[in-house]
Structure 1
Amino acid sequence: MTEPAQHDRSAPAFPALQRRGFLAVGAAAGLGALALTGCGGSSSEGGSSGADGKPKRGGRLRAAFAGGGTAETLDPHLSNLFADAARAKALFDKLADCGADMSAQPRLAAKWEPDTKLDRWTVTLRKATFHDGKPVTADDVLFSYRRIADPDKTYRAKASLEPIDLKASRAVDQRTIEFRLKRPTAEFPNILAAFGAYIIPSGTEKFDRPIGSGPFRFVSFAAGRSCTVRRYDDYWEGAPHLDELEFIIANEESARINALLGGQIEYAHELNPATARAHEDRGQIDIVRLRNSAMQAFAMKTDRAPFDDKRVREAFFLIADRKELVDGALSGAGEIGNDLFGKGYEYYAKSLPQREQDLDRARHLLKQAGADDLRITLDTSDVAAGFTEAAGIFRDQAAKAGVKIKVKTGSKDTYWSDILDSGTLCCYRSGAMPIESHISQRLLTDSSTNATRWRRKDFDALYQQAQSTRDKQARTAVYERMQRQLHTEGGFLVWGFADWIVGTAKKVRGVARDAPANTLDWARFDTVWLG
């Protein structure tokens, strides 16, 4: 295969887009709260189709994202920003990814099969090749996972791969891997779909000219400015419709929307609700709303006063007017929550009644707990859209129940680490991920990002029971028991789920409209075409 041509890196393609500023994202809340994890759904066309309704081949699409300056990387195991993740998706593949309901969907893995004890899984690879023409093999998979698990590195998917005993896992043949696990893991496919768990060629050390197995191959990269990739004709799922795709960095939302309106780009990632409303019905551009993309919550520390008393936690559940929070903090771009993560996702306990505001009951519970004159600090920051607005709205709601809240605004640079162990009440956000992953990463006694300090041995035991249960119906029942417990006395006051908003030019087709951010169909440019 011939080497792709290099583009001039000395100057950005669109100077007007090169604004400064960073997209603040919290590791605990997943990529912009990306983990941001990914697991895909179906696509639907943006705008109107061509006369025959069929995709057209050719053309170049320019997509603008907020970026991270010189910190940007093409190493898919280090992806932390939306821009990094979108580039990684274009260049690389994972064994699985998440559907719109967060169920694992096969990608490089054609199938997976467990043994009877659920502690040994056999994964069969599909026939796929890297951009240099070499086949994707079991050795490449084991190399990639062992690199991610390096104890001296901080790769994004490291925690997700923890259940795998990589020393004992082996390549059965070129396209078959036997994964041995440290314990029964019924949701092992979620590990394969973990955010950042990309497969790279064995022995890869540098990413200045990365070789992946994704739908596009590398052309050029200038950190903080742009990245160009070109269609890979031998992609296992079929060649992309586009000839080329260029990722352009534009940190300010106003720069992205103005570039879209001015025809400098065809895809603008991360628009705010006010911008979406202003342009939704004007006919100049298309607005795509990715529903259920980010959980919006307040996290109560359950290991310290006053939230070590479950009556106080229940009172706070009842103080919240969720619709007012969605309308005010999210400008209506979302839907109300019910104090549980993952609305609409696989295993979500949708049978639980929707909690409503009940100030009388809240006051009664606070009095019972001896907290009827409660004063408390609510930590917030401008690290995520709507945080400071939500804090102010909830402060006023709490005052109606006799609770005096002092809003404290912290640094967006250290917010996620600051609120993990300190404070008692804080604004919180999380991107899409499987419910099982949310539980394992944030709600078990030994979870590394347990922001509510929820530590219950009986809850841990239920999780282990679910992971040891082969029958899905029986496993679903266990997850429902866990969610009932969280709904009654947990530490997350989940008041809403925010839309993620994307703008596209009218000629752009094939953009998925029913997939939350970070799922398979988010930023999936291999299925997009220009009409």
Structure 2
Amino acid sequence: MHDERFPGLRRRGFLAATTGAAALAVVGCGSSTDDNGGRTTKRGGRLRAAFAGGGASETLDPHRANLFADVARAKALYDKLADYGADLSARPRLAEKWEPNKTLDRWQVTLRRATFHNGKPVTAADVLHSYGRIADPAQAFRAKASLEPIDLDASRATGERGIEFVLKRPTAELPNILAAFGAYIVPEDASDFDRRPIGSGPFRFVSFAPGRSAVFRRYEDYWEGAPHLDELEIVVANEESARVNALLGGQVEYAHELNPTTARAHEGKGQIGIVRLRGSAMQAFCMKTDRAPFDDPRVREAFFLIADRQELVDGALSGAGEIGNDLFGKGYQYYADSLPQREQDLDRAKSLLERAGAERLKVTLDTSAVAAGFTEAAGILRDQAAKAGVTIDVRMGSKDSYWSDILDSGSLCCYRSGAMPIEAHISQRLLTDSTTNATHWRHKDFDELYQQAQSTRDRGERAAVYERMQRRLYAEGGFLIWGFADWILGTARNVRGVDEKAPANTLDWARFDRVWLA
């Protein structure tokens, strides 16, 4: 999930969601079994999953999905044309296949045979309607920016299951657009999303109480095979302690977003299972490259060398993560892993600052309690910088406005991001006209490299262009990316099938159709 949308934790909501015998009872499991990659699965039962939510304003409209709970509900009910694998490359979903023309400005997409919960087939008309709805200028749907390269007026159905997407410019990464956050396919006549939502996902709608609970039942005719579970209930528990206590007390079988301290306290003890989704959240400091003192690349390089990344991971993340190398997307498709791991070098940092005329540099670092580890990371960097003669004044910001404030104010701030393709990170945050360009990295030649990558059909040649761009960022960019945090889940002892390799927001994260109760 995008970094500025990670929810805060509040307590209200959970107790209301779990009152009543129906909410607390686990439906009995059937005895039928099948083989799933060498594992024996069991059919039946209700799994209850606790997430932080959005209160009474929650909706089942998938195009308004914003928080993790929204996405979990949307994934239960709906499908996208594509979704991201563990390495953030696009994988076909409702789209059975796709093929570009030679100039990469027209793509033919063929839909697989799938049906909505009312039995009607998923058609090209439904896809074009869904994308048209997302792109409506009167709406503020999050996927709108991702669909911008598609000329929807010129795109057309070529049959019931065929679509020709016409693009405004050559785009090699159309599959990433099809997999975009919130780009779900709804029926052409969809209207009442909160009372009678109809999708093509693995579960059908049963009930929904905003800010409390949503219940879904297995869709037997799901195109990828019916879920193992009879029912799925997603309940709201905004405070981490409420989710953990519900898990320990048997009120839920799955708890999303646990902190490292909780994980350490329970890991290996046998009472609950701890699942760590490695590399799910980038952790960084963001330097504004267009204003003093970070308009001088020597100062930015000095800060790269001031940071002790392992100390930051150990102190700010309680060790629940791995060090970064000032590049987004460690382990993802196109990641430049050939670059040497940067290490702390205070002597060289001092030399660079001296050459930049910034020997006794003073700078303000904006942070907030808006995200786990932010205040701790700020304090650690302050102490590390002092060893290089730099004075950092840590300034606490509002949790409510932090993400919008830091886009334009200040010169140094704490930052984080959820999983997305490296290509999307570049297009959303590092191009001259990117709307969330927090480092103010604006270079026309860098923009041109991105366009070159997008118009390069050969994957290997395209990867080489992305590596050139990352080498540039590694040398003089504005993101000091010090770590990648684990995303931590808790499960009951009888829960099986939770994917342990899928970062949050990827295809196999929150895949409750693959989960079963032993």
TM-score, structure 2 as length reference: 0.93
SS of structure 1 residue aligned to 2:447: helix
Tell me the amino acid that sits aligned with residue 376 of structure 1: V
Query: How much has 1:15 moved relative to structure 2?
Result: 4.8
1:474 is paired with a residue whose SS is helix
Q: Secondary structure at the match of 1:141?
A: helix
Tell me what 2:86 maps to.
100
Q: Does 1:72 align with 2:40?
A: no
Q: 1:53, CA displacement in angstroms?
A: 3.6
Tell me the residue number matched to 1:30: none
Tell me how far apart the structure 2 counterparts of residues 58 and 366 of structure 1 sit (CA, whole Å).
Answer: 64
Instruction: Give the 5 Å matches for 1:325-336.
Output: 325-336=312-323
Query: Does the alignment pair 1:145 with 2:131?
Result: yes
Does the CA contact (< 8 Å) of 2:366 and 2:412 recur in 1? yes
1:252-310, CA deviations, whole angstroms, 9 ceiling, x for partnerless residues?
Answer: 11111111111111000000000001000110111000001000000000011111100
- 1:278 and 2:282 equivalent? no
Q: Does 1:207 align with 2:165?
A: no
Describe how 1:153-164 pairs up with structure 2 within 5 A: 153-164=139-150
- 1:259: which partner in 2? 246
Give the Å deviation of 1:13.
Answer: 4.4
1:148 CA displacement: 0.5
| Offset from partner CA, 1:479-513 (integer Å, 9 cap, x none) | 00000000000000000000000000110010000
Identify which of 448, 467, 470 aligns with 1:480: 467
For residues 5-42 of structure 1, give each alpha carbon's deviation from its aligned partner in whole angstroms, at most 9, with x where no partner exists.
xxxx9x934259xxxxxxxxxxxxxxxxxxxxxxxxxx
2:397 to 400, 404, 410: 410
Distance 2:17 2:481 in 1: 42
Tell me, yes or no, if the aligned pair for 2:17 and 2:236 is still in contact at 8 Å.
no
Q: Partner of 1:238 in structure 2? A: 225
> How big is each residue's C-alpha offset from its partner over 1:172-220, in whole Å with a ceiling of 9 and x where there is no partner?
1110000000000001100000000000001322212210000001000
| 2:281 partner SS | strand
| 1:344-363 superposed matches below 5 A | 344-363=331-350
Deviations 1:94-121 (A, max 9, x none): 0000000000000000000000000100
Q: Deviations over 1:376-429 (max 9, x none)?
A: 110001111000000010011011111100001100111000001111000000
SS in 1 for 2:303: helix
Q: Residue 112 of structure 2: which of 106, 126, 143 is its match?
A: 126
SS in 1 for 2:450: helix
Aligned with 1:166: secondary structure?
coil
Structure 1: 5+ residue runs without aligned partners? 1-8, 17-48
1:62 to partner: Cα distance: 0.4
**3-state SS of 1:420 partner:** coil
Distance in 2, Cα, partners of 1:504 & 1:289: 11
Amino acid at match of 1:69: G
Distance 1:467 1:118 in 2: 9
Change (3 A) 1:269 1:398: same
Indicate the residue corresponding to 2:154 in structure 1: 168
- Counterpart contact for 2:286–2:413, Cα < 8 Å: yes
Which of 95, 102, 107 is matched with 1:116 structurally? Answer: 102
Whether 1:14 and 2:18 are equivalent positions in the alignment is: yes
Partners of 2:101 and 2:515 in 1: CA distance: 39
Is 1:530 the counterpart of 2:517 in the alignment? Answer: yes
Q: Which amino acid aligns with 1:206?
A: D
Query: 2:209 aligned with 1:222, yes or no?
Result: yes
Residue correspondence of structure 1 range 360-379 to structure 2 within 5 A: 360-379=347-366
Give the secondary-structure state (helix, strand or coil) at the position aligned to 1:365.
helix
Determine what percentage of the aligned residue pairs are the same residue: 79
1:436 to 419, 423, 428: 423
Task: Measure the CA separation in 1 of the matches of 2:516 and 2:423.
Answer: 35
2:293 corresponds, among 296, 306, 316, to 306
User: Which residue pairs with 2:375 in the alignment?
Assistant: 388
Task: Give the residue type in structure 2 aligned to 1:72.
Answer: E
1:43 corresponds to: none
Query: Is residue 190 of structure 1 aligned with residue 194 of structure 2?
Result: no
Paired with 1:385 and 1:136, the residues of 2 have a C-alpha distance of 41
Distance (whole Å) between structure 1 residues aligned to residue 476 and residue 268 of structure 2: 43
**Aligned AA for 1:66?**
A
Q: Aligned partners of 1:377, 1:237: CA distance in 2, in Å?
A: 52
Secondary structure of the residue aligned to 1:56 is strand
2:275 corresponds, among 265, 272, 288, to: 288
Contact 2:42 2:516 in 1 (8 A): yes
Please give the alpha-carbon distance, in whole angstroms, between the structure 1 residues aligned to 2:452 and 2:335.
Answer: 17
- Runs of 4+ with >6 A deviation: none
Query: CA separation in 2, counterparts of 1:222 and 1:14?
Result: 11
Provide the C-alpha distance between the structure 2 equivalents of 1:448 and 1:141, rounded to a whole number of angstroms. 26
What is the aligned residue count? 489
3-state SS, counterpart of residue 256 of structure 1: helix
The Cα RMSD (Å) is 1.4
2: CA distance, partners of 1:364 / 1:203: 65
Q: Could you tell me how far apart the structure 1 residues matched to 2:429 and 2:39 are?
A: 45
CA displacement 1:21-68 (0-9 Å, x = unmatched): xxxxxxxxxxxxxxxxxxxxxxxxxxxx99x94111100000000111
2:413 to 426, 446, 454: 426
Q: Name the aligned partner's letter for residue 426 of structure 1.
A: C
TM-score, L = length of structure 1: 0.91
Q: 1:88 aligns to what?
A: 74
Return the offset for 1:152: 1.3
In structure 2, distance between residues paired with 1:383 and 1:245: 30
SS at match of 2:217: strand
Q: Is the deviation greater in 164-173 or in 198-207? A: 198-207
Cα gap change, 1:15/1:377 in structure 2, threshold over 3 Å: closer, same or farther? farther
The SS at the match of 1:327 is: helix
Cα deviation per residue 1:411-449 (whole Å; 9 max; x = unaligned)? 011100000111100000000000000000000001110
Give secondary structure in 2 for the equivalent of 1:127: coil
